[in-house]
Amino acid sequence: MHIVRPSSSNTFQQSWIASGRILFLIAVSGLGAIGLVVLSALWAGTESDAAALDRQRQLVNARLREQVTQVAHVIGQFGNGYLARIHPASRAAGVSSSLDMVLTTATGSAISQTAMSAFGYDQAFVVDEQAHLLMMADAQTEKRYRWMKPLLLPLLQDARLEANQGAVSSERTPSSMESRLASAARPNRALANLMRLEGRPTIVGVVAINEAPQGQEQPTRQFLIVVRFIDGAALDELSRQQGLNGARFARTADADENEVAFQIDATSNGEPIGFIVWRPDLPGSRVIGRLMPALSIAALVIAVLFSVLLVRLRSSLGDLKKSELHARQLALHDVLTGLPNRAMFAMRFDECLADTQNSVERFAVALLDLDRFKAVNDTFGHAAGDELIRMAAERIRSVLRSDDTLARLGGDEFALLLRDIDDDQILPAICEAIVAELAKPFPLLKGEAVARVGGSIGVTIVPDAGRNADDIMRYADVALYEAKVGGRGQWRAYSPSMDGGRNARDILKNELREVLAKGAASLADGTQPDPIVKRPDFGSLEVYYQTIHRAENGYRASGAEALVRWRHSQRGLLTPASFIPVAEEGGLIDALGFWVLREACTAARNWPENSFVAVNVSPSQLRRPNFAEEVFTVLQETGLAPSRLELELTESSLIEDNSDVYTVLKSLRGRGVQISLDDFGTGYSCLSHLMRFDIDRIKIDRSFVSLLGTKANGAAIIGAIVALSRNLGISTTAEGVETEYQRDFLTALGCTDLQGYYFSRPAPLRELDCFRQPEDATGPRTIAPRAIA
């Protein structure tokens, strides 16, 4: 049963569990934040180490390539120098070929010694094209060379070693000076490769040191080969230059835990030669090693402080939950009886309305008063009155079902929410049982007093009486009043006859509210409302149009006035006189007027360019500070030019000297919207309104037009209005033209436009033939397809 109060211990236990979960999440989040800080530091150090190690590897690789390039450059300069000076001198001597070989062998030894002593190479050889040794060498050197020869031979066959042989002209023998200049002008090509010799990483350089003798078909070439091992002194020098701690050469990547290995690849084929191993400088690890103790201490301190904070927070949260539970109990329950109070009843009432909105379930709302309670309170005191309230609550609760709600609204007033009363016998049975229980005597003050009070009940059945919460409660109150008037100690169900005419007006207002609400629930792009959300069908609103005609040139149609109609599902087609006052009373006129404005502008955009549409504006709309912006928004959305919209005001809208109204009208006219004064002369006509508000048109009321031909003062009044308008430069429209005589007379008086049944009756858009375009819609426009903004 809803009226049973929830267990305080269960509620508190659930709140405590929820609080524990929150605290657990906070604790995990805090520890995660601390861990994230530590992990971020470790990650930053690791990234710094990786960047530093990558930089060292790049520097080592660049230094090795630089040494290879340097060897090629140095021996290339050496070969050019030899070709420019020594070799031409031998040629000039004209020695025999056999003697050339002896001189070459001796010279080769000298060249080899010069390359090793002057440039610091570990070994140097002078060879021919077939890699035959052309120098005097000891047995050990020759043996060493034989092991190297197969590896050096591919270098001699490299295409990049082709010397610039620039052939000398056959007509004459060049002089020694010319030969030296020619050799200097032709730079010698040298080649240096990184390779493995004798199992060691080695830089090998090759350069040509002779030119072929003239006249030889197959010239003999001589080359200088230099060798520099980079695993000894060269590696020490590299270690000093690049800051490689403990650098050493290894054939395999046998680096220790704190070492890194850099692979050396051969220049020609990319095969691995070996590895340079060293202890890298890792700044990130060094920084982490220094900061980690401080970070650990800080994390520990934060964790301790966070734990203390969580303990205090848990304690405070527990106290807060207890206070919240008590406050909620007081806020939603009656202190005296423990029943739901007015606030909780309203919540459950709204929930019930929402639950049954799309169903056919019927439920009832009842208001209950104890009869003669005031007499008991005055006779026996407030203590007895409180006891009577508690006993009455228990008796009422005893006859209710588990799904019913009983609430105390205050004093001796109670409210009932009775669900699922589709069976016609349920509601009478419950109400009669409550009346019978309350009619029994109440022993008070421990049996010292007995009170006989009774109770009266007023019931409203939903949805028979509508689904508006305020109206439902009011209907129940009306029914309760009828029960009390009828003699008390009984129950009454609400019927419209209890309200009389007032009730019919309220019903129409509620139905109009439902129609507008249905329109507001639809989508702005014109789609139909969600079929799942069903509302009562009270019909739909439509816009009719009555044409306005020029009083010249054959009385052609110049515009039309938009007039709203309500096609009620039970009452038929209702005119504005039937529901506009109800809309004004219920605060619905703004929404209704805005919808008509949008529909009229949408329709008029398909009319001829020289036509206009007139829309009535209520005083309530005009007093809205943002009314002008709303109008401009509609014009922009529909694409209608402002000059083709005419807003009709009543004179009552201008009675008050309201600066806001003046500002709104000035803004509208500044953008080109036309302003007309409707029913001029029937209300609070004031000539200052015409001047101050800069009116564009005066509409002469039909009551004056009907006097034409019957009373002389009718023509006089109309003539005076037309003359006044002509002098002020204001257009005039005569309403209610029904005969040809009236048409001709008003035209003769000088009216600019005419409107009335003589020309046309109000008709839906589909029947407005004078403005029909080929692409016009054929059906009526209703409020259902468009949302109210």
- pLDDT tens by residue, 407-423: 998 888 999 999 888 88
**What is the average pLDDT across 83-111?**
56
Identity of the residue numbered 114: T
pLDDT at 213: 54
**Of 65-74, 210-219, 581-590, 720-729, which gets the smallest average pLDDT?**
210-219
Q: Is 424 helix (H, G, I), strand (E, B) or coil?
A: coil
Please say if the pLDDT value at position 163 is more than 60: no
With contact defined as beta carbons under 8 Å apart, do 744 and 708 qualify? no
Task: Choose the most confident range, by mean pLDDT, from 66-75, 281-290, 587-596, 704-713.
Answer: 587-596
pLDDT at 781: 43
Q: Which residues contact 501 (CB under 8 A, 6 or more apart)?
A: none
Please say if the pLDDT value at position 740 is more than 80: yes
pLDDT at 603: 92
Please say if the pLDDT value at position 175 is more than 80: no
pLDDT at 633: 93
pLDDT tens column, 7-29 = 444 555 555 566 566 666 776 77
pLDDT at 391: 93
With contact defined as beta carbons under 8 Å apart, do 562 and 613 qualify? yes
Cβ neighbours around 151 below 10 Å, total: 15
Please say if the pLDDT value at position 94 is more than 60: no
**What is the average pLDDT across 305-326?**
75
pLDDT at 320: 74
pLDDT tens column, 272-297 = 888 888 777 777 666 776 667 777 78
pLDDT tens column, 515-556 = 887 766 653 445 554 544 456 677 888 999 999 999 988 899
pLDDT at 435: 93
Strand 645-650 with 674-680, pairing: parallel
- Predicted confidence band of residue 635 (pLDDT cuts 50, 70, 90): very high
Q: Which residues contact 354 (CB under 8 A, 6 or more apart)?
A: none
> Could you tell me which residue, 732 or 222, shows the higher pLDDT?
732
With contact defined as beta carbons under 8 Å apart, do 226 and 121 qualify? yes
Q: Output the CA angle 173-165-193, nearest 5 degrees.
A: 150
Task: Determine the Cα–Cα distance for residues 385 and 444; give it in Å rounded to an integer.
Answer: 9
Identity of the residue numbered 453: V
Task: Determine the Cα–Cα distance for residues 544 and 596; give it in Å rounded to an integer.
Answer: 10
- Predicted confidence band of residue 629 (pLDDT cuts 50, 70, 90): very high
- Predicted confidence band of residue 187 (pLDDT cuts 50, 70, 90): low
Task: Determine the Cα–Cα distance for residues 373 and 411; give it in Å rounded to an integer.
Answer: 9
pLDDT at 504: 62
**Nearest Cα to Cα of residue 364 among 414, 432, 431, 411:** 431
> Could you tell me which residue, 212 or 457, shows the higher pLDDT?
457
**What is the average pLDDT across 258-275?**
79
Query: Each residue of 91-111: b (16+ CB within 10 Å) or e?
Result: beeeeeeeebeeebeebbbeb
**Alpha-carbon distances, residue 363 vs 95, 298, 360, 532 (angstroms):** 134, 65, 10, 21
pLDDT at 654: 66
pLDDT at 295: 72
Identity of the residue numbered 754: L
- Predicted confidence band of residue 173 (pLDDT cuts 50, 70, 90): very low
Place of tokens 């006219």: 669
Q: Which residues contact 596 (CB under 8 A, 6 or more apart)?
A: 543, 562, 564, 615, 616
**Alpha-carbon distances, residue 641 vs 607, 609, 612, 613, 677 (angstroms):** 12, 9, 9, 11, 21
**What is the average pLDDT across 705-712?**
78
Please say if the pLDDT value at position 171 is more than 50: no
> What residue segments make up the domains of the chain, in order of their start?
79-163+175-279, 342-499, 697-758
SS3 content of the chain, % helix, strand, coil (to 5): 50, 20, 30
pLDDT at 211: 66
Please say if the pLDDT value at position 234 is more than 90: no
With contact defined as beta carbons under 8 Å apart, do 509 and 468 qualify? no
Rounded to the nearest integer, the mean pLDDT of the chain is: 77
**Nearest Cα to Cα of residue 508 among 584, 598, 593:** 584
pLDDT at 84: 64
> Could you tell me which residue, 94 or 668, shows the higher pLDDT?
668
- Predicted confidence band of residue 306 (pLDDT cuts 50, 70, 90): confident
Q: Helices (DSSP H) in 493-588: which residue ranges?
A: 501-521, 576-585
pLDDT at 502: 52
Classify domain 342-499 by CATH number: 3.30.70.270
**What is the average pLDDT across 362-391?**
86
Cβ neighbours around 295 below 10 Å, total: 15
**What is the average pLDDT across 634-642?**
93
pLDDT at 250: 77
pLDDT at 354: 85
pLDDT at 563: 93
Please say if the pLDDT value at position 689 is more than 80: no
**What is the average pLDDT across 309-320?**
76
**Of 108-112, 210-214, 228-232, which gets the smallest average pLDDT?**
210-214
Structure tokens at 15: 């709140």
pLDDT at 544: 94
pLDDT tens column, 115-132 = 787 787 888 888 888 888
Percent of the chain at pLDDT above 90?
A: 17
**What is the average pLDDT across 130-140?**
83
**What is the average pLDDT across 199-215?**
76
pLDDT at 787: 31
pLDDT at 169: 35
Structure tokens at 108: 């080769």
Residue count of the chain, please give it.
789
